[in-house]
């Protein structure tokens, strides 16, 4: 592979669009580059479930013809995206990371995928997920676990549940991807794989055509190389959809043009001292350096306690996920004649013992915690916390009974906040560390603006794994 090929494989959408507009490359060349990387790298990295070669090449040829005719469909015209294997695409199989039942063949295309295509994106294929998206490590005992590309010697967790989407972007096997986030499932893998991931406000992006796990918490979000690309994808996929009741009040707006808004004077709530004990020392070191970088941007750091501890929020969210997961999938997971990931089955079946009365208590506790957090954020614009409490560990060291990757993820979904995960540095072993800029509900613009300013002042997002050229 040439230096130019490597540059293109890890280029941002903004850079690629400039090259496409100038005629220096065409979409077919970009698609073929990514397909060749998938053919070469994915047997080891295991990011993709399905790759649709002929369809991708045909779509690229059509998009190139349109560009030559002076027609550009949108900001993603001719670039590639990967789609988590929870989204239906008409005529394509959806397995949701499970072998317990035959993959369903999509009768419709999920709204988010349809909007990507309308904006000119080429969908390369479907990416691996934790079974039914219920797990933070990124492991899947029945369909296989993607390999975190930052360590090609030791198999490390990619993070989940949008494991394959993050690995595909991090390894230069797609320009961008979409995933889902119910308790950290976009941000966790984005953070462990050194890319950008956005957990959107509930209802911001339509979930029509999505295999649901926990409807009160499920959200759709992009995984990209930088914040500008993230804003581009969000502008494309966000907005009201009559096919998803939760999205009907989603605002119609374009955020990408407003990224360069000055951030000096913003107030950011930092991780309280009482919560730092849960975070690995190397992660804290990178996090503290990132806080200094934000201070250098004239962001004021605010220290105050959380109204609901991260541990308590994680427990409430976990019970809601099990209760709603059992309501959606319990009949399937009760069967003894089918093959399940045992750890996912255990999480789903925990919901069997959550009574209707307990479920209502959990919803009330959530509402109380949301109101308390809204009040506490009255004097700040955003929070800046670590994305994950640890860096990627070897798959062989995973204890599925422990949930350290959920600690800093679930509370955002429980409280219906938005959150942007950003590359912020590396451990001594060269493993990515990430911070998340957390905004209030519908506060994506503030998070993206601050994240963009941080990336203009740092270079962590420009790094990519070695050995993949």
Residue of 185, 247, 406, 419 marked active site: 185
Residue of 84, 126, 322, 419 marked active site: 84
Residue of 27, 95, 161, 206 marked active site: 161
| Residue 325, CB-side half-sphere exposure with 13 Å CA sphere | 27
Is 355 tagged catalytic? no
Contact in structure between 112 and 240 (CB atoms under 8 Å): no
Is 185 tagged catalytic? yes
Contact in structure between 256 and 449 (CB atoms under 8 Å): no
Contact in structure between 12 and 225 (CB atoms under 8 Å): yes
What are the tokens at 214? 């926990």
Is 84 tagged catalytic? yes
> CA triplet 359, 364, 370: central angle to 5 degrees?
125
Per DSSP, helices labelled H in 123-252 are 163-170, 187-193, 227-237
The answer for 64, left when phi > 0, alpha when psi is -120 to 50, beta otherwise, is: alpha
Of the candidates 381, 23, 423, the one whose C-alpha atom is nearest the C-alpha of residue 197 is: 423
Distance separating alpha carbons of residues 269 and 303, to the nearest angstrom:
6
- Exposed/middle/buried for 416, CB within 10 Å: 0-12, 13-18, 19+? buried
Q: Measured between alpha carbons, how far is residue 449 from residues 256, 261, 264, 430, 443 in Å?
A: 9, 6, 11, 28, 10
Q: Which residues are catalytic?
A: 84, 161, 185
């Amino acid at each position: 592979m040439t230096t130019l090929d490597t540059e293109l494989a890890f280029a941002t959408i903004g850079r690629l669009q400039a090259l496409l507009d100038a005629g220096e490359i065409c979409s077919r060349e970009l698609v073929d580059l990514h397909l060749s990387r998938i053919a070469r790298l994915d047997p080891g990295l295991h990011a993709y479930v399905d790759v649709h070669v002929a369809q991708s090449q045909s779509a690229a040829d059509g998009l190139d013809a349109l560009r030559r005719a002076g027609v550009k469909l949108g900001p993603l015209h001719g670039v590639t995206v990967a789609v988590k294997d929870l989204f239906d695409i008409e005529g394509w199989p959806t397995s949701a990371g499970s072998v317990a039942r035959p993959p369903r063949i999509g009768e419709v295309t999920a709204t988010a995928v349809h909007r990507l295509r309308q904006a000119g994106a080429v969908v390369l294929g479907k990416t691996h997920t934790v079974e039914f998206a219920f797990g933070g490590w990124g492991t899947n005992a029945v369909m296989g676990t993607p390999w975190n590309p930052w360590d090609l010697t030791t198999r490390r967790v990619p993070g989940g549940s949008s494991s394959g989407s993050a690995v595909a972007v991090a390894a230069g096997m797609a320009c961008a991807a979409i995933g889902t986030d119910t308790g950290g499932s976009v941000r966790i893998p984005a953070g462990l794989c050194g890319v950008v991931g956005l957990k959107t406000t509930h209802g911001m992006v339509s979930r029509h055509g999505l295999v649901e796990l926990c409807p009160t918490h499920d959200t759709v979000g992009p995984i990209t190389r930088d914040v500008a690309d993230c804003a581009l994808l969000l502008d494309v996929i966000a907005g009201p959809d009559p096919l998803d009741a939760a999205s009907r009040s989603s605002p119609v707006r374009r955020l990408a043009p407003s990224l360069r808004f000055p951030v000096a004077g913003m107030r950011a709530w930092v991780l309280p001292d009482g919560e730092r004990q849960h975070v690995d020392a190397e992660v804290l070191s990178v996090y503290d350096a990132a806080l200094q970088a934000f201070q250098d941007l004239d962001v004021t750091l605010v220290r105050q306690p959380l109204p609901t501890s991260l541990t308590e929020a994680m427990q409430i969210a976990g019970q809601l996920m099990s209760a709603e997961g059992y309501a959606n999938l319990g009949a399937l997971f009760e069967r003894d004649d089918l093959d399940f990931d045992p750890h996912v089955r255990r999480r789903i079946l925990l919901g069997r013992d959550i009574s209707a009365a307990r479920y209502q208590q959990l919803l009330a506790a959530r509402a109380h915690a949301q109101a308390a957090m809204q009040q506490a954020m009255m004097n700040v614009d955003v929070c800046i916390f670590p994305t994950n409490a640890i860096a990627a560990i070897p798959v062989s060291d995973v204890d599925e009974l422990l949930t350290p990757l959920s600690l800093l993820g679930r509370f955002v979904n429980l409280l219906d906040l938005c959150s942007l995960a950003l590359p912020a540095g590396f451990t001594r072993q060269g493993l990515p560390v990430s911070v998340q800029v957390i905004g209030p509900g519908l506060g994506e613009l503030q998070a993206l603006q601050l994240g963009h300013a941080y990336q203009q002042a740092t270079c962590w997002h420009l790094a990519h794994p070695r050995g993949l050229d």
